[in-house]
Amino acid sequence: MANVGFIGLGHMGKPMARNLMKAGHRVAGFDIVAGAAAAAGTRAVESASEAVRKADAVITMLPSGTEVRQVYLGEGGLLLAARPGTLVIDCSTIDVTTARQVNIAAAARGLQMIDAPVSGGVKGAEDGTLTFMVGGEESACEAARPFLGSMGRNVIHAGAAGNGQVAKICNNLMLGVAMIGVCEAFVLAEKLGLADQKLFDIVAKSSGQSWALTSYCPVPGPVPTSPANRAYQPGFTAAMMLKDLILAQQAAHAARAPAPLGAAAAATYSLFAAMGHGDLDFSGIITMLRGGRPAEPQPAP
């Protein structure tokens, strides 16, 4: 069993750290929010550098590239504090450029580093069923498998450093565009008098079928577990989808890759978030396309 330093114990980091401890690892935790590391059940320490100093492996689960730069490269950054040979795993979803730059800085310090963003959300983190998309040296990916295997079900090596982030933003680009397409089709069918369930039954067996339809249906009824059945409580928030669509747009501009539907999806989610619905599930965008409101707030009892 190993000593693990875990930095960023928010919605995702907390259950991930718990699963590492369940697997027998000793976890030292740090988060800028007082009490978050202790609430996760880790041995709470005072700084990122203290969390990594004696660690065999380090895992970070931070909001964005800004925090990753600060925690890795900033004053008292973890790259200076970790022992040479330490395995460093960044599970945050961040921009590809930062992922690659931090990886180079880690290698220069003699650390093995991978980017390993996840799919599966908070439920996947709690159940230990996440999918990890890994960028970096094959040997570092293999070294990380026992740790990632305690927190998830699938570990897929995507190639060189940063390719985990490439896979993640491409996945969410497809998902964001697909979800809006599914929502537009339901709204059109409703206006033309075709029942939601009928459309679902037909398209689920036709060429328009997609995960957004058959696993995460944006109307209540056809898929009982989808957020549509609980007034679009997340799930995966519209704000998170917007963040990933913006990352995809930035990468597309930098690579000169045309992504006009990704741009339209980002603009549509940005409007939904600006209307105050960023904390609803991303499938709730159907309510905006209908011209209605998501669930009305309930009066206090």
Active site amino acids: 168
Residues 279-301: b if buried by 16+ CB within 10 A, e if exposed: ebbbbbbbbbbeeeebeeeeeee
Contact call for residue 97 and ligand NAD (CB under 6 A): no
Identify which of residues 43 and 204 has a Cβ nearer to ligand NAD in the complex: 43
CB-count burial class (<10 Å; 0-12, 13-18, 19+) for 212: buried
Contact call for residue 12 and ligand NAD (CB under 6 A): yes
The separation between CA 217 and the C-alpha centre of its own chain, rounded to angstroms, equals 20
Contact call for residue 30 and ligand NAD (CB under 6 A): yes
Rg (CA), the chain: 20
- Residue owning tokens 């900033």: 74
Give me the least distance between CB of 117 and ligand NAD, in Å please: 6
Specify whether the CB–CB gap between 157 and 141 falls below 8 A. yes
DSSP reduced 3-state for 59: strand
Contact call for residue 62 and ligand NAD (CB under 6 A): yes
Site string for ligand NAD, 242-281 (x = CB under 6 A): -x--------------------------------------
Contact call for residue 240 and ligand NAD (CB under 6 A): yes
Identify which of residues 157 and 243 has a Cβ nearer to ligand NAD in the complex: 243
Residue ranges of alpha helices (H) inside the chain are: 13-22, 36-39, 48-53, 65-73, 78-81, 96-108, 121-127, 138-151, 163-191, 196-203, 211-214, 238-255, 260-272, 285-289
With CB under 6 A as the contact rule, the residue among 71, 140, 199, 288 that binds ligand NAD is: 71
Identify which of residues 116 and 223 has a Cβ nearer to ligand NAD in the complex: 116
Residues 108-128: b if buried by 16+ CB within 10 A, e if exposed: ebebbbbbbbbbbbbebbbeb
With CB under 6 A as the contact rule, the residue among 4, 6, 7, 109 that binds ligand NAD is: 7
Contact call for residue 69 and ligand NAD (CB under 6 A): no
Binding piece for ligand NAD, criterion CB under 6 A, among 57-65, 102-110, 207-215, 278-286: 57-65
Start-to-end C-alpha separation, the chain: 49
Contact call for residue 159 and ligand NAD (CB under 6 A): no
Site for ligand NAD in 178-237 (CB under 6 A): 236
Write out the two tokens for 137.
């040296």
Contact call for residue 152 and ligand NAD (CB under 6 A): no
Residue 240's closest CA among 282, 211, 268? 282
Total number of residues binding ligand NAD (CB under 6 A)? 27
Binding piece for ligand NAD, criterion CB under 6 A, among 8-16, 95-103, 107-115, 180-188: 8-16
Contact call for residue 68 and ligand NAD (CB under 6 A): no
Q: Which residues bind ligand NAD (CB under 6 A)?
A: 7-13, 30-33, 36, 48, 61-63, 67, 70-71, 92-93, 118, 121-122, 236, 240, 243
